[in-house]
Amino acid sequence: MRNWVLITGCSTGIGRALVPLCREAGWGVVATARNPAALADLAPGDDLRILALDVTDGGSIAAAASACADLKLRALVNNAGYGQVGPLELIRPEELRAQFETNVIGLQAMTNAFLPLLRREPGARILQVASMLGRLSIPLAGPYNASKHAVVALAESLRLEVGREVAVVLVEPGAIRSAFRESLAKVWGDLPERAKGTRYEAAIARYLRLRRDQADRHAMDAGACARKMLRALDAAHPPRRLVIGRDAFWVRKLKALLPESWWERLMRRIYL
């Protein structure tokens, strides 16, 4: 009987890249997105189910769990998320709240809903997708930094609580070349208007240019990241932590080595 994996956030980026890789490796895939029409071009087959899923909607999560009850569900990849960016001084409470609803509360709600199904299968695992920004912070991305720090903490606590029954893998990618990054300008909303005449106006324009440059020159292809995640799905003994990308490895090393004052000076020089 085929093993199945449910992946959230399959419309773009890592989630989208992971779907065909898992199918090629023999997994059945439950591919999910808020708008399932975005997945219509995936090749049909008895190894693929497409579900509408909004991780901020409890009813949607319950319906997805019910739809998977007949499957040999051996893995859950909590990948859905987005990056709310902007100076903390200008971030509205509802923007911060929405960031946590998707990246943190939605992730944990999915975990809780699917743990009973995963416990049925020996060797089951959960991949919690955080970020290198779950271990360090950069300016102008405070809400996203905070949400990914929370994902790291939740994953480590969950591993202590359920790790003997279901393996918990913390995935910490660096910069990924995907629509996630291309949509940064949309995430600002009316923030540039709020920033006009403030000390942040020039910093916001600089930040957008910098992120676009990083996407072009330094970011990892989503497929390369997905291939490393597939190894964790297939491994007999999955890793506790999966750091993906040279930037994720070296930036953390640099932060650990530099005095805090030097690190802060470097971050301000790059971003502000």
Q: What are phi and psi of 236, to 5 degrees?
A: -65, -35
Catalytic residue, from 82, 144, 200, 271: name it: 144
Q: Which two tokens stand for residue 156?
A: 């480590």
E-state strands within 34-166:
48-52, 73-78, 125-129
Amino acid 119 reads: R
CB 271 within 8 A of CB 138: yes
CB 50 within 8 A of CB 56: no
Long-range contacts of 23-28 (CB under 8 A, 24+ apart): 23/47, 23/48, 25/230, 25/233, 25/234, 26/2, 27/2, 27/3, 27/75, 27/233, 28/2, 28/3, 28/4, 28/71
CA atoms of 105 and 91, how far apart (whole Å): 19
Is residue 144 annotated as part of the catalytic site, yes or no?
yes
CA atoms of 206 and 50, how far apart (whole Å): 39
- Residues belonging to the active site: 144
